[in-house]
Amino acid sequence: AAAVVLLAAFVIIEIKVAHPLLPMRVLLDRNRGGSYLGLTLASMALFGVFLFLTYYLQTTLGYSPVMTGIAFLPMIGAIMLTATTSTALLLPRIGARIPVTIGLILGAVGMVLFTQLGVDTSYVTHVLPGLLVTGLGLGLVFAISFEVGTMGVEKHDAGVASAMVNTTQQVGGSIGTALLSTIFATAVASFLTTASSPESPMAKAQAAVHGYSVAFWWSALIFLVAAVTCGLVMSSRLPEHDPDVPRVAV
């Protein structure tokens, strides 16, 4: 409640002061505002992958930290594939709304695939498909949002727009970590409460997997909310990029 009040106060002050830290004109553009919102929500949901899938690979499947890092490489490759092609091919032709919305939907699909993980499931059949689908979606979302987040701004607003691209990721990641960790802990405790032998290693492993699954479902929901919101807010029309305004460094 306090955060909501402080946020509202910040917006009111920024509207009234002569030289605001965050000019509302930067946020009120449909594509820029949609890209910031999409980055925030996608970063929240993304920790469903980085946090809980890391736990799953190391504690449930017994992967070492090095093997866990290697296991994530296919997702990185998928991100690189769509990130490098989306801004060059899709963005100039169809704008930001469709690719970003599709990317967020793919993120939700990837999370749903992760909900099928079990205590002894295989990496190839259960983890890898989710990583690839999620990676393809994230490449679309982040690459295009980075690009659109600084498009069409005046030179004196370029620093603010670039900072917003980075800030939304940090804020979204922080909120996502806190929210999903709480959901995970609650789900694990609830599972163990109803287990016949809550102290057994198998029960604890099953409780952890159940907690991961619940967190992945919530991540999927966040991705879907982001997809609907960005689909409604963003426009297919693309503002021209001022050549004097530097593009955001990713």
Q: pLDDT digit string (tens) for 142-176?
A: 999 999 988 888 888 888 888 888 989 998 998 99
Model confidence pLDDT, tens digit, residues 81-116: 999 999 888 888 888 999 999 999 999 999 999 999
Average pLDDT of span 207-216: 95
Q: Enter the DSSP assignment of 156.
A: G
The CA–CA distances, whole Å, from 241 to 16, 30, 142, 151, 153 equal 28, 15, 18, 5, 8
Domains of the chain, CATH where assigned: 25-233 (1.20.1250.20)
pLDDT at 246 over 80: no
CA distance to 51, 85, 103, 142, 184, per residue, from 134 (Å) = 14, 16, 8, 12, 20
> Which residue matches tokens 């002569």?
18
